[in-house]
Chains A and B, each alone.
Chain A
Amino acid sequence: MDWVDEVIDEFDEEFRPLWSASESCLEPLLDVSTTDDNVVVTVDLPCVTSKDDISLSVTDNSLEVKAVLHQNLKWERWGTSQKHIEFNSFKTMIHLPVKVNTEKARAKFTSGILTVTLPRAQKKIGLKIE
């Protein structure tokens, strides 16, 4: 049932930790918004110093972001097993709300914030009133 899946997805989203021990990576905070023409994704990437440390993979309905931290992070007083983990990157996969034109996507990285602008695949057509 779709609604059950939706509830489970929402629960997972709310309680999923923002890190993965197996991949030594952190999940960044992000925001996805839509305008008439574009899907705009912003991703908070602290401790990433250069755009060259970020790799982006985009399909018509998803965006994957990977970024290398300028130095590994470890919190030796945090939790139980967590204190042994050394994080070296950010990683996230974003499902886009509408299909996008991948060829015209563009990205910029300013003050630790990545902004990816992806034009909608389906353009609006003007409708004449009779």
Chain B
Amino acid sequence: MPEIVQVIEDRDVRFHSPIAIEGLPDVGLVGTIAGSHIIEQLGLSEVAHLESDEFPPVMVLHDGILKDPVRIYGNENLLVLTSEVPLPITALNPAARAIIKWFKSKNVKLAVSLSGVPVQERVDIQTPSVYGVANNIESREFLKNKGIEVMEEGFIAGIYAVLLKESSRIELPAVALLSQSFLKYPDPGAAASVIQALNKLIGTNVEVKSLLEKGDEIRVKARDLMKQAEGSITDMQKPMEQGIPIMYR
């Protein structure tokens, strides 16, 4: 029986134990905005795309060329997963399984999800803080050693939660970087913070000045995706992230 979600390779790349970055539509579109900026700044080209009957029947045109909306860009050392549509709740688990399985087959040494954590007072925060979530003890220590504040207790929900879970299942080291962000408004400022944390974590040098300079333009252009993502954010049980877990350990 074919997999529900399939990763289709568009070109042959010989990877050297790359790091994989996941930037999918979620709170404040932090991951999507950050992922797009990284792809643009590092000049990464498309290496694969995802296909599934569970995805919305949508294709996207760029330079007059038809493309699948969920794509993976990269080079020998870095992969970036991004999407121009929100993933439906029914596709999250099979998508995570397919993505992480493919990463493992390419000898990915670390998967890093980029996302946001909504805060009510975001409008008054000049530079959003970034928190880390790890899928095992080694990843947690790696975050701490790089000066990323680790979230110790709480719920996480959404696509990055299932990506972390799936990474654990097949023993792929994985972390999530979560920036304070708006819940329902595209947040380039939060995306810039999360990129700076990523630079610190894995030694990339992606500048964020240009991202902040075109922040208003991004906020206008991302309105439609943000509105579409609102429904899936609710479906993903995001409000649970504000809850206190009842049991410890």
Given contacts A18-B224, A18-B227, contact A29 B184 (CB under 8 A): yes
Q: Does A112 contact B (CB under 8 A)?
A: yes
Given contacts A44-B185, A47-B216, A112-B216, contact A26 B124 (CB under 8 A): no
Q: Does B123 contact A (CB under 8 A)?
A: yes
Chain B residues with CB under 8 A of A47: 216-217, 219-220
Q: Decide if A29 touches B124 in the complex (CB within 8 Å).
A: no
Q: Decide if B216 touches A110 in the complex (CB within 8 Å).
A: no
Q: Using a Cβ–Cβ cut-off of 8 Å, how many residues does chain A contribute to the interface with B?
A: 18
Query: Do most interface residues of chain B lie in helix, strand or loop, or is the interface mixed?
Result: helix
Q: Does B19 contact A (CB under 8 A)?
A: no
Chain B residues with CB under 8 A of A73: 220
Rounded to whole angstroms, the CA-CA distance of A47 and B220 in the bound complex is 8
Q: Decide if A113 touches B219 in the complex (CB within 8 Å).
A: no
How many pairs, one residue from A and one from B, have CB atoms within 8 Å of each other in the complex?
41
Those of B209-232 within 8 Å (CB) of chain A:
215-217, 219-221, 223-224, 226-227, 231
Chain B residues with CB under 8 A of A97: none
Those of A3-56 within 8 Å (CB) of chain B:
14, 17-18, 26, 28-29, 31, 42, 44, 46-47
Given contacts A29-B184, A29-B185, A29-B227, contact A113 B123 (CB under 8 A): yes
- Which of A29, A112, A115 has the largest number of chain B CB atoms within 10 A? A29
Chain A residues with CB under 8 A of B185: 29, 44, 113
Q: Decide if B123 touches A29 in the complex (CB within 8 Å).
A: no
Q: Does A81 contact B (CB under 8 A)?
A: no
Chain A residues with CB under 8 A of B223: 18, 26, 28-29, 44
- Specify the chain B residue showing the minimal Cβ separation from A28: B223
Rounded to whole angstroms, the CA-CA distance of A4 and B10 in the bound complex is 46
Chain B 163-198 per-residue mask, 1 if CB under 8 angstroms from chain A, else 0: 000000000000000000011111000000000000
**Apart from A29-B184, A110-B124: 7 A-B pairs, beta carbons within 8 A:** A18-B224, A29-B226, A29-B227, A46-B217, A46-B219, A47-B220, A113-B123
Instruction: Write the residues of chain B forming the contact surface with A, with a CB cutoff of 8 angstroms.
Output: 123-124, 182-186, 215-217, 219-221, 223-224, 226-227, 231
Instruction: Write the residues of chain A forming the contact surface with B, with a CB cutoff of 8 angstroms.
Output: 14, 17-18, 26, 28-29, 31, 42, 44, 46-47, 73, 75, 110-113, 115
